[in-house]
Amino acid sequence: MTVDLSQMPQTKLLLVVPCYNEEEILTKTHRTLQQYRTRLVQEGKIAPESKICYVNDGSRDRTWQLIDDICNTDTHAIGIKLSRNFGHQSAILAGLMHHIQDFDCFVTIDADLQDDVEAIGQMLDQHHDGAMVVYGVRDDRSSDTWFKRTTAEGFYKVMRWMGVPVVFNHADFRLMDRRILEEFSHFKEVNLFLRGIIPLIGFRSEKVFYKRFEREAGETKYPLKKMLLFAWNGVTSFSTFPMRLVLYFGVFNFLIAMGIGVYIGVSYLFGSTVAGWTSIVLPMTFFSGANMIALGLIGEYVGKIYEEVKGRPRYIIEKVTTDAAQ
Ligand code: UDP
Ligand code: MG
């Protein structure tokens, strides 16, 4: 198919790829992304100045050396090295924010090729038709383990139930117009949960469905503990619903205590009170437990406030291989 490139709107695209200990797959990832980039340029969907940005999130293996090599041989690749491990969300943020002025639209994708690169073309079509955000949604998770699938589904359900507008089965594979990032730059929270923030920005959004593949090499950087932590952060940095639950629980406890009081009163009137050990100890343990839960939960939120108030940088860039403007 021949396309008259001069007639097409030339979208300058930046692909942002967070990388943490990905030496086993990075070379292959780059080959795939680079080929796909060239194809998109040939099809006239993106401008020839479009680039791929790898963000090294404090990897302890040879990831940075690989990124450096890639950038030396491919002028369409940019490497950003963070000063330490800041986490997936901050790595994405660094890649996006560093280039906000240089590109028209941005796609974030994981380094492990689990997300289908072919979906990027569809995302660009949607963008061309006016969508400001395009979410990549996995409609087939059969490549994930049963455990990962169930916990992930539970997570999305709980988030929705608590009023956080997450898109079901969407991780961080998405296209965003520069305008979205400009609005996003006003969101200053340290506890970043992009999946919750981006839908809050509004504008027209679309979904592109794709099949999620298995990780081809290397291992997941999200073992159970980190996954639970991520989910917990997602909930507590977005919703005060758990606090309200504690309040409900407290009211419920209070009602039970009243009930017990009435029971004791009635028993006394009818003269059948046995100097009750149970009726003292049982409520005592019960209520002290409830108190502890409430305090712990409040502590969690106070801790979050503390982190936000300090306003520490969300990432620190040690160096960048090439300037996007070059
Ligand atoms: N990642 C990162 N920093 C971290 C952990 C992960 O940049 O601290 C990157 C990782 O290299 C990958 C993406 O985030 O590109 C998603 O991680 P992973 O594939 O391990 O998560 P999963 O798909 O298993 O949930
Ligand atoms: Mg993965």
> Per residue in 61-74, pLDDT tens?
999 999 999 999 99
Q: Is 326 a member of any domain?
A: no
C-alpha 20 to ligand 1 mean position (Å): 6
Q: What pLDDT score does 291 carry? A: 82
Same domain, yes or no: 260 and 193 = no
C-alpha 7 to ligand 2 mean position (Å): 38
Same domain, yes or no: 202 and 301 = no
Q: For residue range 63-111, what is the model confidence (pLDDT) as tens digits? A: 999 999 999 999 999 999 999 999 999 999 999 999 999 999 999 999 9
Instruction: Look at ligand 1, atom 25, and give the residue with the nearest C-alpha.
Output: 222
CA atoms within a 13 Å half-sphere pointing along the CA-CB vector of 208: 25
Does 324 have pLDDT greater than 60? no
Mutational test site, ligand 1, from 16, 88, 220, max ligand atoms within 8 Å of CB = 88
CATH of the domain at 221: 3.90.550.10
What value of ipTM does the predicted structure carry?
0.94
Residue environment code for 65-85, b if the CB has 16+ CB neighbours within 10 A, otherwise e: ebbbbbbeeeebbbbbbbeeb
Same domain, yes or no: 207 and 247 = no
Same domain, yes or no: 59 and 95 = yes
Q: Is 186 a member of any domain?
A: yes
Same domain, yes or no: 16 and 141 = yes
Q: Is 279 a member of any domain?
A: yes
Question: What is the atom index within ligand 1 of the atom nearest the CA of 111?
Answer: 15
Domain count, the chain: 2
Domain range for 304 is 241-310
Same domain, yes or no: 49 and 173 = yes
Same domain, yes or no: 188 and 124 = yes
Name residues contacting ligand 1 (CB within 6 A).
Answer: 18-20, 22, 57, 85, 87-88, 91, 110-112, 114, 220-222
Question: What is the atom index within ligand 1 of the atom nearest the CA of 55?
Answer: 7
Q: Is 209 a member of any domain?
A: yes
Same domain, yes or no: 35 and 58 = yes
Same domain, yes or no: 147 and 282 = no
Same domain, yes or no: 256 and 194 = no
Residue environment code for 269-279, b if the CB has 16+ CB neighbours within 10 A, otherwise e: eeeeeeeeeeb
Q: How confident is the model at residue 235 (pLDDT cuts 50, 70, 90)?
A: confident
Return the ligand number nearest the Cα of 26: 1
Same domain, yes or no: 148 and 112 = yes
Question: What is the atom index within ligand 1 of the atom nearest the CA of 110?
Answer: 15
Residue pair 211/106 in contact (Cβ under 8 Å)? The answer is no
In sequence order, the β-bridge partners of residue 211 are: 140
Does 17 have pLDDT greater than 90? yes
Residue whose C-alpha is closest to residue 193's, from 230, 149, 240, 153: 230
Same domain, yes or no: 217 and 269 = no
pTM: 0.79
